[in-house]
Amino acid sequence: MPRYKIVHRTTYQYETPVASSHHTAVMRPRDMPSQECVDFRLLVRPRPPIQSQRVDTFGNQVNQFSLQEPHTRLEVLALSSVVVRPRSLPPRSIIPAWEQVAALARQPVGAEALNAAQFAYPSPQVTIWPELGQFARVSAPPGRCYLDVLDDLNRRIHAHVTFSPGETTVGTPVEQVFVRRRGVCQDLAHLMLACLRVLGLPGRYMSGYIRTRPPEGRPRLTGVDASHAWVAAYCPGSDWIELDPTNNLFPESDHITIGFGRDYSDVSPLSGLLVGGGEHTASVGVDVHPEADDA
């Protein structure tokens, strides 16, 4: 099984001193059936005198820290070691028609379905609108196998939105992404979730990393990996099926999950409140590679 080393560095440079700041980090990879986080360290400079940990409502580990001395620079370094177990799709013989999944989300029976149902409705960054329903229903004719619906939506969203860094921000409405047809992985994940939810299907926003592979014969470049976003759709009796509309694939062993929620706002890697600081610049670098590369 692949074991990955992940270095995620975030640096803020402030125009004027920050008198105090309070931050929340969701950066520790989850322990779940598809992976195990065997080591995690969060290093903050300047060193915060106040630090704490908690688990949020979705089961993600959240680190919180506060700085109470003036500073003009903040560096947050997350170091992880994760073993990934290859994912596999459930057999088609046990996958129902998509309408059965939607019906279960409307009237959940049992703890598993009840937990999934919360992901079947609009959330702060995943809204729905009439034209979206028309788009989504092209992939969901009556009686179609749920897996085929997911596969078709994944393919069509990948074709509909061109991956274009710099075209959007973390606050860009998903409807705007749909109309302009340009965005990044977060936007494609939000659009996929909107399509699922307009059909009444539960979908989770997955936050994490993806290993990027260099062209044949060329060395892997440090820093080319980045935070990534994809989607997991609920499948009764088979847990969740993960989909990556940015790359038009079902994740296997190159995706590492940090956490999940209703949308990006639930699992933002780093957020905070500042007193002072003025304008600031931010830089983020992520490096993901098999630990065997260290040999």
Contacts of 18 (CB under 8 A, 6+ apart): 67, 70, 71, 72, 74, 274, 275, 276, 277
pLDDT at residue 295 in the model: 42
Dist CA 186 CA 244 (whole Å) = 11
- Which domain, by its residues, includes 181? 92-266
Confidence (pLDDT) at 246:
95
Per-residue confidence (pLDDT) for residue 223, from 0 to 100: 65
Mean pLDDT of 112-130: 96
Tell me: pLDDT of 80 over 90: yes
Q: Are 43 and 13 within one domain?
A: yes
| Residue 51: predicted pLDDT | 95
Shared domain for 164 and 145, answered yes or no, is: yes
Identify whether residues 119 and 189 lie together within a single domain.
yes
Residues 17 and 107 placed together within one structural domain of the fold: no
Q: How does pLDDT run across 172-214, given as a tens digit for each residue?
A: 999 999 999 999 999 999 999 999 999 999 999 999 999 877 7
* Residues 155, 114 share a domain: yes
* Residues 236/72, Cβ–Cβ less than 8 Å: no
Co-location of 118 and 259 in the same domain: yes
CA distance 226 to 229: 10
Number of separate domains in the chain: 2
88 has pLDDT over 60: yes
**What percent of the chain has a predicted confidence (pLDDT) above 90?**
87
Is residue 262 located within the same domain as residue 273? no
Asked whether residue 141 falls in the same domain as residue 259, the answer is: yes
My answer on whether 173 and 46 are in the same domain is no
Whether the per-residue pLDDT at 219 is higher than 90: the answer is: no
The reported pTM is 0.94
**How confident is the model over 140-150, as a mean pLDDT?**
97
What is the distance between the alpha carbons of residues 79 and 73, in angstroms, rounded to a whole number?
20
Question: What's the CATH number where 124 sits?
Answer: 3.10.620.30
